[in-house]
Chain A
Amino acid sequence: MAEEHDIDLQRYLDDMLPDNERVRFERRLEREPRLRADFDRLHAATAKLAALEPRPLSSAVTERIVAARAANTRRQSAGGAERRRVAAVAAAVVLAATAGFFAGRLSGGTDTNAETSLAGPLPSGLISGLARDPVADAALRTTADADAPSFLLLLHGPPAERLEGLPEDMHSWRETATSEWARALEATGRLVASGGVTEGATGLEEGETDGNVDLADPSRWYAEPWMLPTQFFVLRAKDLEEASRLAAVLPHTSLGGRISLRQLTPSTP
Chain B
Amino acid sequence: MKLVSAATSPEPTGGEGDPHLLGRAAAGDSRAFELLVERHADRVFGLTLRLVGDRQLAEEVTQDTFLRLSRSLETLRVERTIAGWLRTVAVNLCRDAWRRQHARPWQSSSDDPDQFEITDRTPNPEQRAQIREALGVAEEALLMLPDEQRLVVVLRYVWGCSYAEIAEDQHCSEGTVASRLHRGLRAFAEAMETKGAD
Binding site for B on A (CB under 8 A): 3, 6-7, 9-16, 41-42, 44-58, 61-62, 64-66, 68-70, 72-73, 77, 125-126, 128-129, 131, 162, 164-170, 172-173, 176-177, 254-256
Contacts and interface: CB of A to CB of B under 8 A. Distances in A.
A219 B182 CA distance: 36
Interface of B: 1-9, 28, 30, 33-34, 37-38, 41-42, 44-46, 49-50, 59, 62-63, 66-68, 70-72, 74-80, 84-85, 88-89, 92, 95-96, 99, 136, 138-139, 142, 153, 156-158, 163, 169-171, 174-175, 178-179, 181-182, 185-186, 188-189, 192, 197-198
Contacts of A53: 6-7, 136
Contact of A169 (B45, B76, B157, B171): B76
A69 B74 contact: no
Contacts, number: 180
A161 B26 CA distance: 29
B27 to A, nearest CB: 11
A254 B69 CA distance: 13
Kindly name the residue among A55, A73, A166 whose own CB sees the greatest number of chain B CB atoms within 10 A: A55
10 contacts: A14-B2, A16-B174, A49-B3, A50-B7, A52-B6, A52-B7, A57-B62, A166-B92, A167-B88, A176-B75
A54 B6 contact: yes
B42 A48 contact: no
Contact of B63 (A41, A65, A162, A168): A65
Contact of B6 (A51, A164, A173): A51
A9 B96 CA distance: 33
Given A162-B92, A162-B95, 15 more contacts: A3-B179, A7-B179, A9-B182, A15-B2, A42-B182, A44-B189, A46-B157, A49-B138, A54-B9, A58-B59, A61-B41, A65-B41, A165-B88, A165-B170, A173-B76
Contact of B175 (A7, A55, A164): A7
A200 B180 CA distance: 35
User: In terms of DSSP, what is the predominant structure of the interface of chain A?
Assistant: helix
A126 B45 CA distance: 27
B171 A65 contact: no
A181 B142 CA distance: 41
A52 B138 contact: yes
B139 A72 contact: no
A46 B185 contact: yes
